[in-house]
Amino acid sequence: MPLGFLLTSAGILVIVYAVSHHSSEQWLTWGIIGAIIFNSGLGILGNAFIHKMKSDLIQKERKRKMASQPEENG
Q: Is residue 6 part of a domain?
A: yes
Residue 24, CA distances (Å) to 16, 19, 72 in order: 14, 10, 75
pLDDT digits (tens, 9 = 90+) for 10-53: 999 988 888 887 777 888 888 889 899 999 999 999 999 999 99
Q: What pLDDT is attached to residue 67? A: 86
pLDDT at residue 74 is higher than 70: no
Can you give the pTM of this predicted structure?
Answer: 0.69
Domain range for 33 = 2-67
Q: What domain count does the chain have?
A: 1
pLDDT band of residue 1 (cuts 50, 70, 90) is confident
Run of H or E including 41: helix 27-68
pLDDT category, 54, cuts 50, 70, 90?
very high
The more confident residue out of 70 and 67 is: 67
Residue 62 domain-assigned (yes or no): yes
